[in-house]
Homo-oligomer: A and B are copies of this chain.
Amino acid sequence: MASRRVGLWLIGACGSVGSTVALGLASLARKITPPTGMVTSLPVCQSLDLDAPATFVLGGHDIRKADFREGVLGLNERSGVFTARQIEACSLELLAWSGNVRPGTVLETNETIRALVDLPEVQRVRSPREAIERIQADLRAFQSKHKLDQVVVINVASTEPPFELTDEHQRLETLEAALNRVSPVALPPSGLYAYAALDLGLPHINFTPSLGTSCPALDELARLRGAPHGGKDGKTGETLLKTVLAPMFAARNLNVLSWIGHNILGGGDGRVLNDPANKASKVKSKDSSLSSILGYRPQSHVSIEYVESLDDWKTAWDHIHFEGFLGTKMALQFTWQGCDSLLAAPLVIDLARLALLAQRQNEKGLMPHLACFFKSPMGTDEQDFFRQWSAFEAHISAW
């Protein structure tokens, strides 16, 4: 085991989440930070043959001129997270891993995300097939250069606008045909990255609400190539609380009349979500859990507003109005003040470790046992956090 080396390839590598993953992995490897926030460090995972932080090499794609160190320093300056000591201690890794970041591939995306592109070398390709080939070339080069036993690809890029699936996304055969078409492009960027990874047999995790691997054709590809995959949209804050609190209301037979959630945040994520199209993907992902858990549809509302001064500090206010015995109306309100990237990054590392191990356990295709990590879990309809958690415990205890 000692000689195993693994790679973690991030789509949207040098954003806030990616940079935090880099600093985190390096800090863990140097044992200068405890694994707080990491599920795979819990006693329940103790006996698993998970890859140690020190065995990871980091790389990725980004469409902006950026490196991990700049990402880390920017977050430090704007959001007041990380200490100077942490950054200094890990500067070698941040520098080295930045050398593994390749210009992303831009084919077709919307204006808000296109505005982020400031990289002259960004690979402006002309067809989906060309995009996939370039992505795969980068992945192969990464694996061979660092002599990696396995590589896992995780999407932590900004949210894309919703993408409409059609019949051609139902089977691999029709998708393959559609990908030969130049226009309209058969998959959004997140789908092209996903196809490229799965086609190489690499496990793939979609930590965003974008399409990623969430269509039957791509699951077929994953099973064909022996790649486990999962997603989508990491469950880190307000939605986590929703899927924790809603089961309580259900178990007490308290009737939720309305559940209103207001999210305010700044940072790159906030800016992209300020575009109504991109926000639509996110709000949909956040709003679906309630009726699934409660068994009825209370009035609900989820808003996300860009507030520059907050940067990465997502603040959510939820007002839950419910009816108890004899028609009595009562209320629960909460305010969540969490630093989004710091909540996401340890889960990204968890998912990398769990996907790599799943592949070594010869699992392929969907990983529904990872539902507790996601807002819109693939392969299961279960939204109740504690039922998801039980399923996770049951699955890994069988490894």
Please give the residue numbers on chain A whose beta carbons come within 8 Å of chain B beta carbons, in ascending order: 20, 23-24, 27, 33, 35-39, 41-42, 80-84, 86, 240-241, 244-245, 247-248, 250-255, 257-258, 260, 262, 264, 299, 301, 303, 305, 307-310, 315, 317, 319, 321, 323-339, 342-343, 345-346, 372, 385-386, 389-390
Per the bound structure, the CA–CA distance linking A140 and B327 in Å amounts to 35
Per the bound structure, the CA–CA distance linking A303 and B319 in Å amounts to 14
Question: Given contacts A84-B84, A244-B248, A324-B338, is CB(A307)–CB(B315) below 8 Å?
Answer: no
Per the bound structure, the CA–CA distance linking A344 and B388 in Å amounts to 29
Per the bound structure, the CA–CA distance linking A83 and B327 in Å amounts to 9
Cβ contact within 8 Å between B321 and A86: no
Cβ contact within 8 Å between B253 and A264: no
Per the bound structure, the CA–CA distance linking A326 and B299 in Å amounts to 30
Chain B residues with Cβ below 8 Å from A257 are: 308-309
Question: Given contacts A305-B301, A325-B24, A332-B334, is CB(A37)–CB(B253) below 8 Å?
Answer: yes
Cβ contact within 8 Å between B81 and A326: yes
Cβ contact within 8 Å between B389 and A251: yes
Chain B residues with Cβ below 8 Å from A80 are: 80, 329
Per the bound structure, the CA–CA distance linking A323 and B33 in Å amounts to 12
Per the bound structure, the CA–CA distance linking A325 and B19 in Å amounts to 13
Q: Least Cβ distance of A60 to chain B in Å?
A: 19
Cβ contact within 8 Å between A339 and B328: yes
28 of the cross-chain contacts (CB-CB < 8 Å) are: A20-B326, A33-B325, A36-B253, A37-B253, A39-B253, A41-B253, A80-B80, A84-B84, A240-B252, A241-B332, A244-B248, A248-B385, A251-B389, A260-B305, A262-B262, A262-B317, A264-B319, A303-B303, A315-B319, A317-B333, A325-B342, A325-B343, A330-B343, A331-B335, A332-B334, A333-B337, A335-B335, A386-B389
Per the bound structure, the CA–CA distance linking A84 and B331 in Å amounts to 23
Per the bound structure, the CA–CA distance linking A42 and B317 in Å amounts to 29
Cβ contact within 8 Å between B251 and A325: no
Cβ contact within 8 Å between B310 and A258: yes
Chain B residues with Cβ below 8 Å from A343 are: 324-325, 330
